[in-house]
Amino acid sequence: MHIILLGRMPAAGEHRLRELLGADHRVDVIREPGAATEQLSLFATADVIVGGPITPEIAAQAKQLKLFHVFRGGIDGLGIEHLPDAVTVANTFHHEVGVAEFAVMSCLVLPRRIPVYDAQLRRGDWSGSVMWGEPPDYATLSESSVLVVGAGHIGINIIKRLKAFGPRVVAVSRNARRSVQGADKVVDYGQLNQALADADFVVLSVRLAPETTGLIGAPELDAMKSSAFLINVARGTVVDQHALYAALKSGSIAGAAIDVWYNYPSARDQMCLPSDAPLHELDNVLLSPNRSSWSTRMLNGRIADVAENVQRLATNQELINVAKPGRTTS
């Protein structure tokens, strides 16, 4: 089988894939998708393309293609519409544990203002120390209520890990009658504002869709407690960036942790602020450059799924994680 790894993320797993597949399969790597136009001839013998995106030019060349293996959960925005119907599309996950750990970490770090106190102590400033006997300014996670908006793969993993710390957990799902393991209560989106008002932490883990774009705007932020924290591990545009800045700047909410953004650089050496609003100027925001999922667990798990499907394809076995079955015309 001839496999092409197209893009930076699958390229990072090249050596592990070669180990899993052995010498029986050919693996080529195109790390930068933009360079694919200069290597179109490679696609003529490709059985499997991993990563993407697929352009019309690639699709036209890849006449032997049998499997397009997306290197993430979602298959949107990768040009699958250019592929012949006979090509199967599969996906892979393994990111939910890393994202869930980031969300739980944020629930622990934000109220303790660890980056702020770390910076102060590096200057010799002991403000906030127990030595001064000042009233404590945060509650433990065990005393808190956490609202998890979105109860899919990531949301369920967040809830599972939160429960070890003992908070009350409410899940927001499209179906309030659904049972969500570990959640003390499940509500639907029609009850979102009331649920926001009761939460000490709001964790966003919804998928991006028309109905979730701008889900959290000024009215929703106004509904939150002034002592509450917002954690976004969904997509940047689930939250109105300017409304969030205004709420954080005014103290309408206590703080936020953000791993998903509005602006991204197109090149490694390009300097790029992540938001049009000056969120980076605030000390009550924990900024992360979209890396919560990027763990060895995720990369190794995704490469293992790709290797499994290559082996299954080579031996005419049923594929795993099929997102769109290939269809043959009679």
- Specify whether the CB–CB gap between 197 and 143 falls below 8 A: no
Q: Which of 212, 120, 129 is nearest to 174 (CA)?
A: 212
Tokens of 141: 């996670």
Q: Which of 166, 200, 201, 203 is nearest to 182 (CA)?
A: 166
Which pLDDT does position 76 carry in this prediction? Answer: 87
DSSP state letters, 83-135: S-TTSEEE-----HHHHHHHHHHHHHHHHHTHHHHHHHHHTT--TT-GGG-PP
Q: Is the pLDDT of residue 159 over 70?
A: yes
- Specify whether the CB–CB gap between 67 and 90 falls below 8 A: yes
Residue 205 vs residues 34, 64, 149, 236: alpha-carbon distances, Å = 31, 38, 6, 11
How much of the chain, in percent, has pLDDT values that exceed 70?
99
pLDDT per position as a tens digit, 257-289: 999 999 999 888 999 999 999 999 999 999 999
pLDDT per position as a tens digit, 226-254: 999 999 999 999 999 999 999 999 999 99
Q: How far apart are CA 194 and CA 156, in angstroms?
A: 21
pLDDT per position as a tens digit, 5-43: 999 999 999 999 999 999 999 999 999 999 999 999 999
- Specify whether the CB–CB gap between 1 and 22 falls below 8 A: no
Which pLDDT does position 176 carry in this prediction? Answer: 86
DSSP state letters, 27-85: EEEE-SGGGGGGGGGGGGG-SEEEE-PPPHHHHHH-TT--EEE-SSS--TTS-GGGS-T
pLDDT per position as a tens digit, 173-231: 998 888 899 999 999 999 999 999 999 999 999 999 999 999 999 999 999 999 999 99
Which pLDDT does position 329 carry in this prediction? Answer: 57
DSSP state letters, 262-280: S---SSTT----S-SS-GG
What's the rounded mean pLDDT across residues 288-300?
A: 97
Indicate the pTM of the whole model: 0.93
Q: Is the pLDDT of residue 330 over 80?
A: no
Residue found by looking up tokens 């927001």 in the block:
172
- Specify whether the CB–CB gap between 231 and 216 falls below 8 A: no
Continuous segment of H or E residues that includes residue 298:
helix 296-314
Q: How far apart are CA 133 and CA 93, in angstroms?
A: 48
Domains of the chain: 2-94+296-324 (3.40.50.720), 96-287 (3.40.50.720)
Q: Are strands 168-172 and 201-204 parallel, antiparallel or unpaired?
A: unpaired
Q: How far apart are CA 307 and CA 313, in angstroms?
A: 10
Question: Any residues with CB less than 8 A from the CB of 269 and at least 6 apart, and which?
Answer: none
Residue 74 amino acid letter = G
DSSP state letters, 49-62: EEE-PPPHHHHHH-
Residue 50 amino acid letter = V
